[in-house]
């Protein structure tokens, strides 16, 4: 078992809202956050941050001339970092470290600048500094005026949880006592959605002539079940149903077990899949088996009460992770859940939002399941939660949280 690390604050902006109380309230109902967004040649289901949050982001953008040229990924990161550091009661003189990552980076600006280049055969002055991956952590460091180390990275959909690994490594090394970690993502752009549609993993807005999709919808209607567009963790689905969401989530890490800790990280695990192609994962997700085993360590697997799964809503992704959990926990599975049926897949931010989900369940001692599934293993008490994330390239991370 590793040295314990405290989470003393977590702040996010997502389709579920912008405060922990608002987010928890939204977890109590079965409504999803998806709406149809018109694109250039078609439309797609997406999950956007709420209108009041967009207004506050716009206010932040207009508050400083330097911020007017920044991408939403950076603005989301600044917004949530301010709140997290405030909640943790950190000071500038603490010189805490920063590691914030993103799967896609400055998605909106990059696509706009590239489209402008194709039209005019030249690009604008700020196209490079505002689209480099490193500009997320560096702008947050500038905004918070900390002099600690600052790191940006991209490890696809496990980016935020890799930031947690990095923060813990720095703390355990003795080079920092505090680290701000997380992910930020604003991927609801035409080209990014088109990429996911090209992979054939994206949920269809309308079944159209897809007989298989129509049949599945009709079956659910006949069973008097509400139709949820993203069928994350539904192992009976016949179609991929991933939907993109946007948001950012920041976590304050501190050395040891702090009195004000929201949760204690007692185990971390990581592994990389041996790939057959660019987006492959083995049928029983060997990478997850290794990362979960490492995170659980010497703890009895029966003591894990809940697993917050990555479960992106794709057929292979959901089934392979489930089979990995079966391998680790054998005949006694913990309660399984995910939040992607509700707020979509936020790429690099998703792992941090899953940690937030886990912390809320620990705080309120209430399990939140997936509404269209039978939750047979609902725990009587919640003490230990395992959080999973994995991305293209088979980079799996598992984090063990305890209260």
* Domain membership of residue 311 as a residue range: 263-402
| Residue 248 and residue 305 share a domain | no
Is residue 234 a part of any domain in this protein?
no
**Could you tell me which residue, 24 or 93, shows the higher pLDDT?**
24
| Residue 251 and residue 309 share a domain | no
| Residue 152 and residue 84 share a domain | yes
Domain boundary (208, 231, 255) is at 255
Identify the three-state secondary structure at position 306: strand
Band of residue 214 on the pLDDT scale cut at 50, 70, 90: low
Tell me the CATH number at 135.
3.40.47.10
Band of residue 221 on the pLDDT scale cut at 50, 70, 90: very low
pLDDT tens digit string along 229-249? 999 999 999 999 999 999 999
Say if residue 264's pLDDT is above 90. yes
Is residue 25 a part of any domain in this protein?
yes
Please give the tally of structural domains in the chain.
Answer: 2
| Residue 134 and residue 21 share a domain | yes
Domain boundary (209, 226, 255) is at 255
Mean pLDDT confidence for 286-297? 95
Across all residues in the chain, what is the average pLDDT?
91
Q: Rounded to an integer, what distance in angstroms lies between the CA atom of residue 145 and that of residue 125?
A: 26
Mean pLDDT confidence for 248-272? 97
Is residue 177 a part of any domain in this protein?
yes
| Residue 109 and residue 16 share a domain | yes
Lowest mean pLDDT among 31-40, 258-267, 291-300: 31-40
The model's pTM: 0.94
Q: Rounded to an integer, what distance in angstroms lies between the CA atom of residue 219 and that of residue 207?
A: 14
| Residue 272 and residue 251 share a domain | no
- Adjacent-strand bridge partners of 100: 152, 182
Residues 202/229, Cβ–Cβ less than 8 Å: no
Say if residue 188's pLDDT is above 70. yes
| Residue 280 and residue 182 share a domain | no
Could you give the strand order of the β-sheet that contains 5-13, starting from the edge strand earlier in sequence? 5-13, 247-255, 178-185, 97-101, 150-153
Give me the pLDDT at residue 210, please.
53
| Residue 12 and residue 79 share a domain | yes
Domain boundary (234, 255, 276) is at 255
Identify the three-state secondary structure at position 255: strand
């Amino acid at each position: 078992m590793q040295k314990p690390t405290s989470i003393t604050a977590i702040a996010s902006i997502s389709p579920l809202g912008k405060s922990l109380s608002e987010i928890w309230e939204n977890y109590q109902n079965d409504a999803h956050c998806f709406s149809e967004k018109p694109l250039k040649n078609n439309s797609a289901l997406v999950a956007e941050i709420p209108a009041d949050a967009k207004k506050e982001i716009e206010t932040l953008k207009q508050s400083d001339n330097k911020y007017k040229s920044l991408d939403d990924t950076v603005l989301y990161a600044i917004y949530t970092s301010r709140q997290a550091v405030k909640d943790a009661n950190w000071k500038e003189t603490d010189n805490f470290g920063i590691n914030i990552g993103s799967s896609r980076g400055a998605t909106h600006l990059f696509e706009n600048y590239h489209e402008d280049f194709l039209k005019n055969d030249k690009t604008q002055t700020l196209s490079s500094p505002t689209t480099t991956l490193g500009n997320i952590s560096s702008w947050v460091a500038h905004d918070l005026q900390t002099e600690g180390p600052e790191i940006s990275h991209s490890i696809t959909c496990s980016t935020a949880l890799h930031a947690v690994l990095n923060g813990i490594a720095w703390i355990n090394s003795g080079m920092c006592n505090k680290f701000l970690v997380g992910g930020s993502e604003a991927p609801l752009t035409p080209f990014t959605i088109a990429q996911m549609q090209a992979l054939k993993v994206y949920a269809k807005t309308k079944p159209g002539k897809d007989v298989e999709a129509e049949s599945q919808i009709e079956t659910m209607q006949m069973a008097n079940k509400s139709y949820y567009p993203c069928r994350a963790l539904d192992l009976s689905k016949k179609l991929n149903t991933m939907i993109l969401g946007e948001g950012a989530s920041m976590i304050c890490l501190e050395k040891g077990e702090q009195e004000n800790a929201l949760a204690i990280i007692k185990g971390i695990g990581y592994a990389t899949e041996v790939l057959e192609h660019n987006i492959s994962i083995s049928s029983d997700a060997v990478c997850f088996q290794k990362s979960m085993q490492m995170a659980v360590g010497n703890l009895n697997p029966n003591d894990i009460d809940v697993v917050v799964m990555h479960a992106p809503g794709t057929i292979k992704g959901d089934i392979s992770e489930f089979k990995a959990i079966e391998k680790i926990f054998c005949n006694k599975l913990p309660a399984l859940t995910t939040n992607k049926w509700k707020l979509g897949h936020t790429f690099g931010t998703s792992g941090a939002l899953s940690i937030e989900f886990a912390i809320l369940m620990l705080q309120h001692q209430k399990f939140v399941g997936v509404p269209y599934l039978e939750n047979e293993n609902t725990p009587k008490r919640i003490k230990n939660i395992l959080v999973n994330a994995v991305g293209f390239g088979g980079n799996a991370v598992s984090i063990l949280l305890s209260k």
